[in-house]
Chain A
């Protein structure tokens, strides 16, 4: 079993980890301590106190609220997207690239999809404007509810105490 330092996990998150270590991470069995170190690193990167339980994106986490222990989805800026079992996207801002002009803002002519077939849907945080996700479905497609974690089982796998309100 390989082990890594918190500094190495922090560098992984920053994207500055040396390739030799990355290669070890890829080729060796996974390190069980990763989750704990990753959560510590993520926690240090945010200004809120709520305990981070899982990462949903580079700036979006599932956290245990310090107010009422409810488990919610939270942006790094502090914006709260609601209960973790619900789709956070429904509480985001959306911008849909659904015509040629809007597509030209992101790709040269001929290198973007035809919006009669496919659109780009950008989901932004209403408070800080970070882009948490881009979907590329057909028109009419329901908003994707990407991940619904089974936290109870997850903490059993980790052999760690689960938060009270899962």
Chain B
């Protein structure tokens, strides 16, 4: 064999003891995995079986090192997103780019940083730009598997005795990426070209030193440079601590043991999932679906191109198959097309995020690695929003679609937990955590600034099959969910808190209700040239509820300009301080000046709009969905809901059939006997108003034949029908439609720019995309 050096002087095939290139090494692992069904062909866990204590000792050291490094590195950051909300994680990979172990935190990046390493391997970074001890690579490219551009990954190769032994990746969610809209998960832009800085696995450091050209260029392209640099230091420090840790573990345990561990542990993780599926789920199929709104025809949505100016709906059907061998398949056939907005995703982000969630029931251990991925088949059809295969797509707020679609997976898999008695694991549907308060301008310190309030990390959670959801508590994608301290947010944002209160009536009703959300009323103060926008669900709700429980409340928007609050403060008049308890009563408006301009409606996505000092913005953080028929709710719990201001009287009566008295102090006392009697009547009323499903289907069928539905609904179906003949056939069969019935998008008159011609990243010269799902 002749070893050739390339023009840069890098010699391929010298990084590993085997003499294989990284790409050949990875391909050999994939082949052994495909052939045997065991990761890297590990039919037995040789090391674990022979020396279980040694194996566990390495695991403990690695895991402790990862968690510890994260905790230390976190303190370097100044961004409240990182420092308060813990939006960072560190992960160790084997030389093939498969995850060995990860820290706590926002662990979706187990997959996304792994995808970046695999991209470097597959595209021969080994030759050019070269991979050497002391190098650093940076990635945030959504075409390389990242979730959205604001998640910046620093990746450091780990060498020992001159050979590559692994990789460490560190990720932080930065506050701004210089997109058209300020804030990390912004909108306004509709293409990648406007979605913020994009760094594609670039070598950004040599000899443990960040390169000056990268530091200058990156800061020139974003708004919040101070946070950017401190986040950079956070990631580098964490990665270097972990590199040192692994070197020490190799010295203590021997290089051979550590190398064996770094592959076997992944097969161990794969087996862990199989075992858990067999222990908790029911084999068979579960069908589920989720939606969320993209209301872009509204005048408060300003986009640069006419073809984005339309209402559309994200459609995410999923068929979950739990197989006899304990593996599972998630098939997203029928999803709607990607779009001209920032809510697109790619298969790596989509599937990695599913792992983040499943750590909360199917993989509830500290042993999160790439193993479970090898026990899972994902199918993300090309051209859908889950797998656009178009390099023009924007991703800044991929979460809008991701968290909405995942809510249905929770409902689906929970049906199998419930069926066999694991009620404690049931999740009535993940809460779609929003609103995302974002914006920017010149802040109270006179600096160019951008904000993304992570108060969303503490929404109401879903009901379980044996208890209520938690109020203003968590977001399922961030295991550390926390609303953050008011005092810290006021330092980070030129927005004073006029109030932060529980949001009455936001938890979905049920035998067990969803957790309640909360609301914070913010007044712009001490800023100059300030803008903000809204980002959340409004016309639709992705969080359905389960087995008779209701969906949580949907969102609405409140903002006020020209409020006269400065004058009212000077004059000592009343101020809007408390709850917006019943939005139809317009309570805040009673405390504003006569010329106030108020927007109070369902338009929960807007683009950058100007806010003056004294203007108001209501940040309403959503509640979670409910479980079970509300008429089964314990009487004492209804009483508690009323007395805690969790539930409005009107809906206690209508939904729960509550009969109660209220004393002068406003304390409610339920009348149990009368309530049960009223509930019996409600059941009868249901029978009275309900129609047999087959009869109702006739009327609904007539509407379909008449094409009687809003344009957004029809466009959603048309885009799914075009991408999936199977979905169309099933639809026609279910509704017994005539053979010639069709709904081509062309007949709707909605913009179809981008609908028929894709521009894939794989069409670029010398680019080999990493594909890890069935398409």
Residues of A at the B interface (CB closer than 8 Å) are 9, 12-13, 15, 17, 22, 25-27, 29-30, 32, 34-35, 37-39, 54-60, 62, 89-96, 105-114, 116-118, 120, 122-124, 126, 128-151, 153-154, 156-157
Contacts and interface: CB of A to CB of B under 8 A. Distances in A.
A93 B283 contact: no
A110 B712 CA distance: 19
A58 B553 CA distance: 23
Contact of A154 (B282, B650, B686): B282
B717 A140 contact: yes
A54 B419 contact: yes
A65 to B, nearest CB: 18
Contact of B505 (A35, A108, A146, A149): A108
B598 interface: no
B287 A58 contact: no
A38 to B, nearest CB: 3
B694 to A, nearest CB: 6
A150 B277 CA distance: 14
A104 to B, nearest CB: 9
B418 to A, nearest CB: 6
Contact of B279 (A25, A30, A106, A143): A30
Contacts of A156: 324
B421 interface: yes
Contacts of A112: 553-554
Contacts of B551: 113, 120, 134, 136
Contacts of B512: 15
B693 interface: yes
Contacts, number: 258
A9 B421 contact: yes
A106 B696 contact: no
B755 interface: no
B689 A138 contact: no
A13 B477 CA distance: 28
Contact of B324 (A89, A132, A153): A153
Contacts of A22: 424, 466-467
B288 A144 contact: yes
Given A93-B687, A110-B584, A116-B712, A147 B419 contact: yes
Nearest to A112: B554
A131 B631 contact: yes
Contacts of A54: 282, 419-420
Given A12-B466, A134-B545, A110 B601 contact: yes
Nearest to A17: B466
Given A29-B279, A58-B632, A92-B693, A144 B602 contact: no
Q: 4 tightest CB-CB pairs across the interface, nearest first?
A: A93-B690, A129-B683, A38-B421, A109-B584
A150 B651 CA distance: 40
Given A17-B466, A131-B629, A55 B278 contact: no
B541 interface: yes
A30 B422 contact: yes
Interface of B: 276, 278-280, 282-289, 291, 293, 313, 315, 322, 324, 364, 412, 415-416, 418-425, 465-467, 505-506, 509, 511-512, 538-541, 544-545, 547-551, 553-554, 556, 582-584, 600-602, 628-632, 634, 648, 650-651, 654-655, 682-687, 689-694, 696-697, 700, 703-704, 709-710, 712-713, 716-717, 730-731, 734-735
A93 B289 contact: no
25 contacts: A15-B511, A15-B634, A26-B425, A30-B422, A54-B420, A55-B420, A92-B693, A93-B686, A93-B690, A93-B693, A94-B690, A94-B693, A113-B540, A113-B551, A114-B539, A129-B682, A134-B549, A135-B544, A140-B709, A143-B734, A144-B288, A149-B282, A150-B285, A150-B322, A154-B283
B279 A110 contact: no
B583 A123 contact: no
B466 to A, nearest CB: 5
Given A26-B364, A35-B421, A117-B293, 19 more contacts: A15-B512, A26-B424, A38-B421, A39-B421, A54-B420, A58-B511, A58-B547, A93-B687, A106-B651, A107-B553, A113-B539, A114-B539, A124-B686, A133-B547, A139-B710, A142-B731, A147-B282, A147-B416, A150-B284
A143 B278 CA distance: 29
Nearest to A14: B466
A138 B548 contact: no
Contacts of B654: 105-106
Contacts of A55: 418-421
Contacts of A9: 421
B421 A95 contact: no
Nearest to B424: A25
Nearest to B291: A138
Contacts of A129: 682-687
Interface centre among A17, A89, A142, A156 (most CB of B within 10 A): A142
B178 to A, nearest CB: 33
Given A27-B364, A133-B548, A95 B690 contact: yes
A164 B430 CA distance: 38
Nearest to A143: B693
A34 B422 CA distance: 8
Of listed A17, A92, A139, residue having the most chain B CB within 10 A: A139
A67 B549 CA distance: 33
A41 to B, nearest CB: 8
A126 B690 contact: yes
A84 to B, nearest CB: 10
A126 B600 CA distance: 40
Contacts of A27: 364
A144 to B, nearest CB: 6
A106 B709 contact: no
A138 B282 contact: no
Contact of A130 (B584, B631, B709): B631
Nearest to B650: A108
A29 B697 CA distance: 44
A138 B713 contact: yes
Nearest to A118: B540
B686 A94 contact: no
A114 B686 contact: no
A137 B283 CA distance: 26
Contacts of A114: 538-540, 602
A123 to B, nearest CB: 7
Contacts of A140: 700, 703-704, 709, 713, 717, 735
A116 B412 CA distance: 26
A37 B280 CA distance: 15
B421 A34 contact: yes
A9 B99 CA distance: 37
A88 to B, nearest CB: 10
A108 B422 contact: no
Contacts of B600: 110
A39 B630 CA distance: 24
A141 B416 CA distance: 23
A100 to B, nearest CB: 11
A34 B281 CA distance: 12
A128 B465 CA distance: 21
A139 to B, nearest CB: 5
Contacts of A124: 686-687, 690
A109 B583 contact: yes
A32 B724 CA distance: 41
B422 to A, nearest CB: 6
A56 to B, nearest CB: 7
Given A107-B651, A126-B687, A156-B324, A134 B283 contact: no
A130 B548 contact: yes
A126 B689 CA distance: 11
A150 B539 contact: no
A126 B257 CA distance: 64
B541 A136 contact: yes
B505 A34 contact: no
Contacts of A58: 465, 511, 547-548, 628-629, 632
Contacts of A107: 505, 553-554, 651
A139 B703 CA distance: 9
A157 B278 contact: yes
